[in-house]
Amino acid sequence: MKNRQAKIGRNDLCPCGSGLKYKKCCMNRKISEFEQLKEKYFRDHKIRLKEKKNIEGIKEAGRLAIETLNMVEEQVRPGITTDDINTLVHEITITHGARPAPLNYRGFPKSVCVSINDEICHGIPGPRVIKDGDIVNVDVTPILNGYYADVSKTFFSGTPGPDERRIVEVARECLKRGLDTVHRGSRVGDIGWAIQTYAEEQGCSVVREFVGHGVGFDFHESPQIAHFGQKGKGVLLVPGMVFTVEPMINLGAKELRILDDNWTAVTRDHSLSAQFEQTILVTANGYESLTPYDLNAPLL
């Protein structure tokens, strides 16, 4: 098998300083180190580490996901229906030779999740008309050449009130702080700890029932990424891990209820809920978002 990680030529001197050619020294060791880690992570945690060609594939799906979300952002305004968003997402996805992962996933009937105001996630598009002042989460997951990328944002429709603005700001900052903990050597629990600490400091709450997840080869892979938890606990992050971070943050209490459609999760106390999600690759130096968008841009 070719060593796809090496940027150094096989006949170059080995960077370890042995004086041997790279091919006679660490070139093969490096392959087997990653292969060993890959086997170990699958054996111990059922985590499928991604190699370079997989990462390229997920990144392409990610580019389509972001392009889709950008087109949705231009359309979200008072008067459109959630079905209009579904149609748009479906069309863009198909046009690019991809498939929308939500469609028929465990019986989900549409191509995108659209969740408004007190809806936490998994809102099913339909005839509902988006109003001025609504907050609208749109969660897209295309499958392109067999690879999945999962991303969501919460948009304002028209002019948000102070509560709407606040929950969206806090949720976005939660994703940012969660991502800031991601690097080789940190643990899954560090992510949840950072998110929970910030959300609760702000007087908001973290939804427990839905978590981030490994992604890429499938919609939902190991590990689960809780948005609450303890520093230093959980699986050690290693390069090649790809997972989502997607905190759902409520302005009131954390408890939820599932509507009779068996999908839509809403806050029990009807308080507002917002969510931001990206698909993240753990790298040698930190992380790279495979569905990047700016988490610092001014909100409106």
Q: Of 22 and 99, which CB lies nearer to ligand MF3 in the complex structure?
A: 99
Angle at 169 between CA 167 and CA 170, to 5 degrees: 65
Q: Of 27 and 174, which CB lies nearer to ligand MF3 in the complex structure?
A: 174
Tell me how far, at minimum, the Cβ of 262 lies from Co ion, in Å. Answer: 18
Count how many Cα atoms sit within 13 Å of the Cα of residue 123 in the half-sphere of its side chain. 30
Question: What is the three-class DSSP state of 87?
Answer: helix
Tell me how far, at minimum, the Cβ of 45 lies from ligand MF3, in Å. Answer: 19
Q: Of 59 and 122, which CB lies nearer to ligand MF3 in the complex structure?
A: 122
Number of H helices, E strands in the chain: 5, 17
Q: Cα(first)–Cα(last) distance of the chain, in Å?
A: 50
Residue 244 contacts Co ion per CB under 5 A: yes
Stretch in the footprint of Co ion (CB under 5 A) among 10-18, 87-95, 181-189, 245-253: 245-253
In what side-by-side order are the strands of the sheet with 135-140? Answer: 113-116, 135-140, 151-156
Q: Which does 93 bind (CB under 5 to 8 A by kind): ligand MF3, Co ion, none?
A: none
Q: Of 112 and 282, which CB lies nearer to ligand MF3 in the complex structure?
A: 112
Helix 188-201 × helix 162-180 angle, to 10°:
150
Q: Of 122 and 177, which CB lies nearer to ligand MF3 in the complex structure?
A: 122
Separation CA 170–CA 120 (nearest Å):
14
Q: Which does 205 bind (CB under 5 to 8 A by kind): Co ion, ligand MF3, none?
A: none
Of residues 138-197, those binding Co ion (CB under 5 A):
139, 150, 152
Across the strands, what pairs with 152? 139, 277
Q: Of 26 and 151, which CB lies nearer to ligand MF3 in the complex structure?
A: 151
Tokens 């809102």: give the residue: 123
Tell me how far, at minimum, the Cβ of 213 lies from Co ion, in Å. Answer: 6
Structure tokens at 14: 């080995």
- Backbone torsions φ then ψ of 49, nearest 5 degrees: -70, 145
Tell me how far, at minimum, the Cβ of 61 lies from ligand MF3, in Å. Answer: 13
Separation CA 187–CA 179 (nearest Å):
12
Tokens 């989460």: give the residue: 137
Stretch in the footprint of Co ion (CB under 5 A) among 160-168, 182-190, 276-284, 290-298: 276-284
Pattern 120-139, Co ion, x by CB under 5 A: -------------------x
Q: Of 41 and 148, which CB lies nearer to ligand MF3 in the complex structure?
A: 148
Tell me how far, at minimum, the Cβ of 264 lies from ligand MF3, in Å. Answer: 9
Residue 111 contacts Co ion per CB under 5 A: no
Contact positions vs ligand MF3 (CB under 6 A): 102, 105-106, 108, 113, 122, 139, 141, 150, 244, 246, 277
Tell me how far, at minimum, the Cβ of 90 lies from Co ion, in Å. Answer: 16
CA 53 from centroid of its chain's CA atoms: 20
In what side-by-side order are the strands of the sheet with 119-121? Answer: 119-121, 265-267, 256-258
Across the strands, what pairs with 115? 137
Q: Which does 178 bind (CB under 5 to 8 A by kind): Co ion, ligand MF3, none?
A: none
Query: Do residues 212 and 218 lie in contact, with contact meaning Cβ atoms separated by under 8 Å?
Result: no
Binding site for Co ion (CB under 5 A): 139, 150, 152, 244, 246, 277
